[in-house]
Structure 1
């Protein structure tokens, strides 16, 4: 289980560099770019198939954004008692609605256990499923990646970045990590220095 895909989806809401918030999935072109960037981790959740075929249209964008909203809602719940990302204060679902949305989306891809037992080897179990459309495979794969992450012990390491203007979530990789990336740590230190310097004037 990897946190890469659900964090990448949540991070499509980001600081725009000018004090506002940018949405990388704000249009179909943005969705297409993001799908291209995430093609490899997506394959794990869509049965090894190419998730990009016939997917990038407005309906798919809306469904992916709905999964992202549910994911960010549950990320906000997971970081409690800490505060959620600043970008989520007015757009969160209720936690039961977010859980329901993820479960319904994950259910778009039915799966079944498949036993393989080669003559000269040990038996193995794999899971196979088939959705009728590339859109369903994509939406189900994104929802399943979020469900797996949220049900894993890694959820306890999820944090909302406290840096000024940052709206990202991150998984705390080591005990001293406070920020999603070094540039956020630098920005926070500069802001603290400025506040201290301003207070002495």
Structure 2
């Protein structure tokens, strides 16, 4: 599910230009969304490949959105001169309720980062196609990646799947939970360099 940094930056710039051409009046208050088309190493619509590529598959509860971090700055030419653009990453505090794959610490709020979010100038939301940002107060199945520094990244389509439950007791009987439990048994593992998380047992 990895997208090379260079490709991401180019796609990000393209998305900004497209949104700029489509445009919206400064008087409009509705936030626009720019969708990035990613080139992934797996079929993101095949659940067995998604869980096989991920380091961790778990049910998590979104405690809090902790703001946005901006990475990979590049300078681009616009009709109004040069402009620096960055890639947004949204920070979260998430409690792991149940590990389906991996051994993340349960029942503690863990910092995690999702690729995508509001742009640095607060004009648009930047997301991969068919992707969404997790919302506070909801349960999700997360497919995440351990980073070289031990942190955890949520990235790409099908990296967070909302569970339509109102209570923890409903999770194990949900259709999505059963689907991902079965998928882990039949995972298609990818051959890539993997890292350990500092939030694992």
- TM-score, with length taken from structure 1: 0.29
**Bigger share in strand:** 2
Higher-Rg structure is 1
**Bigger share in helix:** 1
